[in-house]
């Protein structure tokens, strides 16, 4: 009899339990989950890396769990290679300064010589015109005396021009000796580089020694090229001085001829020649004007050297910036959670070497579309830290559509259509005791009717 009653009793109990649950008006587990969300507290992590440079780690200044401030030195790379490149560029800039100074000095000398030539050409024109006038009018005693003074002046100019030629030739000899010396230095630098490279390939020498040998070789090549340029400049000076000497000698001959004609008297042919001499003197002045144009062209070359120097200075600034970037500093305040490389390891540019947990805490909520209106960006959200049994107030940073897997699908009692979820990120100020990973309870008050 009892066995027959038991099934009916179970049925009554089941119906009674269902009725009680129906009377709870949404206090079942699903409804409770809709009103209260549990999530985990998290913190932003910054991956620190060397910007644009890589190399061997020479020092590690922090360890895991260490608190750091923004600007603290975290790690450094071996700067030897960058230092060598910087010294090489500084040497090239210094050599460029010497070339610019020499080119300017040469232009100044040429400009002075041209100025003197112009003055002499003016005097020659005046003398030729005077001679032509005297040829036409006949010579007077005072004209003869004046012509003799002109000859003496022309001779003095010729002597000065010859002295300038000799000086220029001596400069050529000095420049050639400098080329020989620089060539020997270049050969020695090449031999040294070949020797160091062989030692480096054999594992005896170091990369730093090979870089130094390469730097010495580059410097020797530049010095050799500079010495060759000085030879060309000196040769050009000889040519210029020789031209001036020729002009001066011609002037002496012209003045002497003019005096002889004054003494002998002028013929029709001589008068024509006097006119021609005047034209030649004017032509000499035109030639000096052309020489001045050559000086202006030389100034363009100086400007080109200056631009090349500026380019080297830009490269130097870039290298110095890379040198500064071999020292890695903390970008934020926070706690070191991981140090990736070991001392002496090589790291590549942009690779994460240190991970820092920032002081910014947050948690993410996934709420239904009916409750998302309660979470606006900038609004305050009350939450509870379960481990500390303490309430904290956060601020909504943003609200965005959540991934598809968080949506509710056919989950309600009446089989309603799918409900979309939204991700809400809430920032929480860091206070004593708060740690990433703690459980956070948030009242969402989502309806499940």
Mean pLDDT is lowest, of 51-65, 269-283, 429-443, for: 269-283
pLDDT category of residue 300 using cuts at 50, 70 and 90: confident
Q: What is the pLDDT of residue 259?
A: 74
Q: What is the pLDDT of residue 159?
A: 83
pLDDT category of residue 183 using cuts at 50, 70 and 90: confident
Percent of all residues in the chain with a pLDDT value above 70, rounded to a whole number: 82
Which residues, in sequence order, are CB contacts of 88 under 8 Å at separation 6+?
Answer: 215, 218, 219
The radius of gyration of the chain from alpha carbons, rounded to an integer in Å, stands at 47
| Closest of 406, 346, 340, 349 to residue 372, by C-alpha | 406
138 phi and psi angles, rounded to 5 deg: 95, 150
Q: What mean pLDDT comes out for the span 272-296? A: 74
- Average pLDDT over the chain, rounded to whole? 81
In tens, the pLDDT along 121-170 reads: 777 777 777 766 766 666 667 777 787 788 888 888 888 888 888 887 88
| Closest of 317, 318, 313, 304 to residue 92, by C-alpha | 313
Count of Cβ atoms closer than 10 Å to residue 133 Cβ? 12
288 or 71, greater pLDDT: 71
Give all strands (DSSP E) within 50-187, no chain letters: 55-60, 67-68, 73-77
7 or 412, greater pLDDT: 7
| Closest of 76, 70, 43 to residue 341, by C-alpha | 76
Q: What mean pLDDT comes out for the span 237-248? A: 83
Q: What is the pLDDT of residue 88?
A: 93
Q: What is the pLDDT of residue 417?
A: 45
Which domains, and CATH codes, for the chain? Answer: 2-50+344-443 (2.40.30.170), 81-298 (1.10.287)
269 or 187, greater pLDDT: 187
Given a cut of 80, is residue 442 above it in pLDDT?
yes
In tens, the pLDDT along 342-364 reads: 999 999 999 999 999 888 889 99
pTM of the model: 0.48
Residue 42 near residue 359, CB atoms below 8 Å: no
Q: What burial class does residue 114 get, using C-beta atoms within 10 Å of its C-beta: 0-12 exposed, 13-18 middle, 19+ buried?
A: buried
In tens, the pLDDT along 14-66 reads: 665 555 544 444 444 444 445 578 899 888 889 999 999 999 999 999 999 99
Structure tokens at 297: 């062209």
Q: What is the pLDDT of residue 415?
A: 45
Report the distance separating Cα 327 and Cα 57, nearest Å: 10
């Amino acid at each position: 009899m009892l066995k027959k009653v038991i099934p009916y009793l179970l049925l009554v109990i089941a119906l009674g339990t269902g009725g009680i649950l129906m009377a709870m008006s949404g206090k079942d587990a699903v409804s409770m989950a809709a009103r209260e969300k549990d999530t985990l507290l998290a913190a932003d992590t910054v991956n620190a890396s060397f910007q644009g440079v890589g190399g061997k780690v020479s020092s590690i200044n922090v360890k895991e769990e260490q608190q750091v401030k923004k600007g603290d030195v975290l790690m450094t790379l071996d700067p030897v290679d960058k230092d060598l490149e910087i010294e090489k560029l500084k040497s090239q800039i210094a050599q460029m300064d010497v070339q610019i100074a020499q080119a300017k000095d040469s232009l100044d000398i040429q400009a002075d010589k041209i100025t003197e030539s112009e003055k002499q050409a003016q005097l020659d024109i005046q003398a030729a015109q005077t001679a032509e006038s005297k040829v036409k009018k006949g010579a007077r005693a005072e004209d003869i005396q004046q012509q003799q003074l002109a000859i003496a002046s022309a001779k003095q100019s010729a002597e000065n021009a010859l002295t300038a030629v000799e000086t220029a030739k001596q400069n050529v000899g000095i420049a050639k000796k400098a080329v020989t010396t620089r060539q020997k230095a270049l050969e020695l630098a090449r031999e040294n580089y070949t020797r160091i490279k062989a030692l480096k390939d054999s594992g005896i020498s170091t990369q730093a020694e090979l870089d130094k040998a390469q730097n010495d070789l580059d410097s020797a090549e530049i010095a050799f090229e500079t010495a060759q340029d000085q030879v060309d400049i000196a040769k050009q000076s000889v040519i210029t001085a020789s031209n001036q000497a020729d002009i001066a000698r011609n002037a002496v001959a012209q003045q002497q001829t003019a005096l002889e004609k004054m003494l002998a008297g002028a013929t029709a042919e001589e008068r024509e020649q006097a006119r021609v001499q005047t034209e030649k003197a004017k032509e000499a002045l035109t030639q000096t004007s052309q020489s001045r144009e050559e000086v202006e062209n030389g100034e363009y070359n100086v400007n080109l050297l200056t631009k090349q120097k500026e380019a080297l200075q830009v490269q130097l600034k870039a290298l110095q910036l890379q040198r500064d970037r071999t020292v890695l500093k903390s970008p934020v305040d926070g706690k070191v959670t991981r140090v990736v490389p070991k001392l002496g390891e090589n790291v590549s540019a942009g690779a994460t070497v240190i991970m820092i947990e920032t002081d910014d805490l947050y948690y993410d909520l996934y709420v239904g579309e009916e409750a998302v209106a309660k979470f606006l960006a900038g609004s305050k959200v009350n939450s509870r830290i379960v481990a500390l049994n303490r309430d904290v107030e956060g601020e909504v940073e943003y609200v965005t559509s959540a991934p598809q897997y968080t949506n509710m699908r056919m989950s309600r009692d009446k089989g309603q259509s799918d409900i979309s979820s939204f991700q809400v990120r809430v920032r929480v100020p860091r206070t004593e005791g708060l740690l990433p990973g703690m459980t956070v309870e948030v009242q969402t008050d989502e309806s499940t009717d």
